[in-house]
Amino acid sequence: MSKLIRPKHYTPLLNVHQNEMAIKLIKESFQQNLSTTLRLHRTTGPLFVMQGMGINDDLNGVERAVTFPIKDLGDQKAEVVHSLAKWKRLTLAYQKIAPGYGIYTDMNAIRADEELDNTHSLYVDQWDWEQVILPEDRDLEYLKHIVNGIYCSMLRTEFNVCEQYSNIRPRLANKIYFIHAEELRRLYPDKSPKERENLITKAKGSVFIIGIGGALGDGKPHDLRAPDYDDWTTKSENGLAGLNGDLLVWDDILESALELSSMGIRVDKAALCEQLRITGKEERRQLYFHKKLLNDELPLSIGGGIGQSRLCMFFLHKAHIGEVQASIWPDDMRRECEQLNIHLI
């Protein structure tokens, strides 16, 4: 309960019926905007994958996947996906997608180790997307181009919501501010990464922090990333490493930065080998996914995930992610939320 943010004088702007209709509007509107902007077609994604193939996303490397034995496969184990970062790249190859085009899918995950609070749930729902790129696209400018496209899709969706519900006002900044994690560290050297995120996002409104996963000037990463999907070691012309990042917006209800998306240009062979070496995970070179990448059987790509419930939460001015999705919450959290006028589904 210590992590629950308790906003003062909170009042939901929509009733239960309006809330459900607004969630539907947001999800339908945004995915249409996203697919048009990035030239993506919808594909069907898995809920689980086989264990031990290197396909599942390891996130920060410490979260346990939910696993279960499969009777008809001699009790071989499958695991619920954490995200579809690597599965999507396999699918791009299987579907023979051309450069400049890609796929998106609904990703549903169970993260049993999540610390539950206003923005974190056991249930995770994302739009996972992936686009094929050319070798010359593997740079910071192309990453920014894609981030701006996604942000414009968010702006258009927010406009649709505000047109439909007159009591909801827009909160997104007109444009997104880019900053590298090392530049952010130098700006606030005595602050923690989370404190830096809050300070810069409150000042700028919407921020994309570049370079998540690699060590910064103080020897510590801004945040952890698995070594085998995002490229966080390749250096740009400015000499700073990282072709990935997080998209944050300022939530004035929670008075905190809210991460809506994580994305990046994916590892090529050189970046994969380097990041496996840095993290001491070189044994992964023998896994199914990694062998395919090292054997030039997978396309170069850029991709990421965009939180569906978080986007709904932000656009509808909610104080808790449980107001826009059904999940499990501690009894004491439910009781206190009810007292705060926060009605969890």
Confidence grade of residue 278 (pLDDT, cut at 50, 70, 90): very high
What is the model's pLDDT at position 2?
56
| Percent of the chain at pLDDT exceeding 90 | 89
Transcribe 307-335 into DSSP letters.
Answer: EHHHHHHHHTT-S-GGGTS-----HHHHH
**Active site includes 256?**
no
**Active site includes 310?**
no
Indicate the average pLDDT of the chain: 94
Q: Rounded distance, CA 159 to CA 33, Å?
A: 12
Confidence grade of residue 61 (pLDDT, cut at 50, 70, 90): low
What is the model's pLDDT at position 82?
86
Q: Which two tokens stand for residue 37?
A: 């902007």
CATH 3.40.50.720 fits 16-44+81-339, yes or no: no
Q: Which of 126, 153, 275, 325 is the catalytic position?
A: 126
What is the model's pLDDT at position 211?
97
| Percent of the chain at pLDDT exceeding 70 | 98
**Active site includes 64?**
no
Q: Which of 29, 31, 35, 57 is the catalytic position?
A: 57
Domain boundaries, the chain: 16-44+81-339
pTM, two decimals, is: 0.93
Output the CA angle 116-118-122, nearest 5 degrees.
35
**Which of 18-22, 113-117, 265-269 bottoms out in mean pLDDT, i.e. has the lowest?**
113-117
Q: Rounded distance, CA 175 to CA 216, Å?
A: 26
What is the model's pLDDT at position 83?
83
**Active site includes 125?**
no
Cβ atoms within 10 Å, residue 60: 12
Whether 59 shows a pLDDT value over 80: the answer reads: no
> Residues 286-291: what's their mean pLDDT?
94
Predicted confidence (pLDDT) per residue in 62-96, tens digit:
678 889 999 999 999 999 988 898 999 999 999 99
Confidence grade of residue 111 (pLDDT, cut at 50, 70, 90): confident
Whether 131 shows a pLDDT value over 60: the answer reads: yes
What is the model's pLDDT at position 99?
98
Q: Which of 131, 262, 275, 301 is the catalytic position?
A: 262
Output the CA angle 233-237-240, nearest 5 degrees.
40
Contact (CB, 8 A) for 107 and 45: yes
Q: Which of 29, 89, 111, 308 is the catalytic position?
A: 111
> Residues 188-196: what's their mean pLDDT?
97
What is the model's pLDDT at position 7?
93
**Active site includes 111?**
yes
Q: Which of 117, 139, 259, 336 is the catalytic position?
A: 259
Q: Rounded distance, CA 318 to CA 13, Å?
A: 8
What is the model's pLDDT at position 60?
59
183: Cβ contacts below 8 Å, ≥ 6 apart: 240
Per DSSP, helices labelled H in the chain are: 16-38, 85-95, 140-164, 181-187, 193-204, 269-279, 288-294, 308-315, 331-339
**Active site includes 309?**
no
